[in-house]
Amino acid sequence: MTSIEKTKAFVFQTYVRQGKAFVSGQGTCLTDEDGTVYTDFLAGISVCNLGHCHPSVTRAIAHQAQTLVHVSNLFYTAPQADLAAMLVDKSFADRVFFANSGAEANEAAIKLARRYFQSKGHTNRYKIITMEQSFHGRTMATLSATGQDKIKQGFYPLLEGFIHVPFNDIDALKAVLDETVCAVMMEPIQGEGGVIPVDPSYLSQVRSLCDETGTLLIFDEIQTGMGRCGTLFAHEGYNIFPDIMTLAKALANGIPIGAMLATKEAATGFDFGSHGSTFGGTPLATAAALEVVKIISDKAFLDEVVEKGAYFRGKLLALKEKYPRIIDVRGKGLLVGMEIDQDAGSFVADCFKKGFIINGIQDKVLRFAPPLIVEKNEIDRLVAVLDSLFQAGL
C-alpha cells in the first residue's frame, strides 16, 4: 500500500488532503514521492518560517537528539532555561510556561487568567471576551473561545464563560466588559478568520479599557508571532503590549512546542502544582527553538520580512487593479490574504497543479504564508501563476 492508501485506510479522516505525499523539503521547496518539486507559500500553516530543514536548526536538533531528548519537568534542563531567558529578554514578559502546541498554550492562558483572579478571592470573575471569527484551537476550552460556529458543530455543550464580540468594534466590547470578565483574548491579525488585521486605534482602546478595568489582555500570537508580520511578535508593530501572550507554530520551525508568556503580576495566578505538561519544553524542542529565535530576532532578518511583505502585497494589489474579481488584499509582513469572488478551493487546487502550495480559508480567501526566507523571484513566479489563472477565468 502507498502512503496515501495507508492514510486513507488507517488515519481518522479529519483532513481534506491534496493527492500527494511529500518525502523531503529544503528551503522554500517540497518534493513529493514522484520527484515533483513545489514552492511552498504556506510553510506548514506558518510553521516553517525559516523554511524546510534549515541547516542551523537541523544541526541544533541533531546535536540535542544525540545528547538528551527528554526528562520530566521535575528536573532542570539547560535548553529550556536558556529559551525562557531569551524569550523574556526579547519580549514584555517575565515568565514563560512551555506546552506542546498552540491550543495547549491557549489553554494555559485561559487557566492563568481565571486563576489569577480566583486566587485573589474574585471567584465571580471568570469570563473571557474573544472576537467573532477568531480561532484559538480545537480543545474544548479553546474551541469554546473560538468565534467561529462552523467548527463547533457536534461538540456541544461547550464550556461556559466565553463571550464573543465583533472584531474592531470597541463599543461592542465596552457593552459586555463588566466585573465578571477576567480577560480579553484576541489575535493581532485573525489568521484563520480571513487574514483580518486589527485596527491600530481599536487595539490601543482595548489596552486602555483593560487597564481601566483591571482586566488581563491576552494576545494569541500563535500564527502571527516569530517574525511573520515583520516584527518578532506582531503586537510590537503597534507598540501595544499584552499581559499574556501565546506562541507555538513557528517557535521551533516544525518541532512541536507551545509557550505562554506573562508579566510578573499576571504570572502570580500559577503556583506549584497549578498547571503542568509532561512534554512541555523538552530539551529537543527548546534546543530547536533557541536557534529559531536567534535567527528570526535579528533586525536585518526582520527588515527583510517587512520589505518582502510590502513587495508581495504590492504585486497582489496590482492584480487587484487588473481583475475586479479580486475583492481585497490585506495582511502584514508575510501573512497575506486575497479575497476573491468565488470559492478559493479551485484556486488552491490549480496553484498546486502548477507547483505552488497556498491555502484557502473562509471560503473565498486565499492565504499566503510563505517561509520568511522566500525570495522575490519566487513571489514573482507565484504572482504570474495567479495572473494566468485569473486571465483564464478560473
Pairwise CA distance, residues 121 & 117, whole Å: 7
Count Cβ atoms within 10 A of the Cβ of residue 165 and give its class: 0-12 exposed, 13-18 middle, 19 or more buried.
Answer: buried
User: Parallel, antiparallel, or unpaired: how do β-strands 359-361 and 365-368 relate?
Assistant: antiparallel
Which of left, alpha, beta for 82 (phi over 0: left; psi -120 to 50: alpha)?
alpha
> 312: Cβ–Cβ under 8 A, 6 or more apart, which residues?
334, 336, 368, 379
Give the per-residue pLDDT at 393. 77
User: pLDDT for 142-185, tens place per residue?
Assistant: 999 999 999 999 999 999 999 999 999 999 999 999 999 999 99
> CB 361: neighbour CB atoms within 10 A?
19
User: pLDDT for 25-52, tens place per residue?
Assistant: 999 999 999 999 999 999 999 999 999 9
- In which residue are the cell numbers 536558556 written? 82
This model's pTM is above 0.95: yes
Give the per-residue pLDDT at 18. 85
> 95: Cβ–Cβ under 8 A, 6 or more apart, which residues?
84, 88, 261, 262, 263, 264, 267
Pairwise CA distance, residues 58 & 331, whole Å: 30
Give the per-residue pLDDT at 394. 58
Give the per-residue pLDDT at 19. 81
- In which residue are the cell numbers 486575497 written? 338
Enumerate domains of the chain plus CATH numbers: 3-54+299-391 (3.90.1150.10), 68-296 (3.40.640.10)
Residue of 221, 230, 216, 219 whose CA lies nearest to 115: 216
Residue spans of the chain under pLDDT 50: none
> 105: Cβ–Cβ under 8 A, 6 or more apart, which residues?
97, 99, 222, 246, 247, 248, 258, 259, 260
Pairwise CA distance, residues 186 & 129, whole Å: 8
Q: How far apart are the first and last CA of the chain?
A: 35
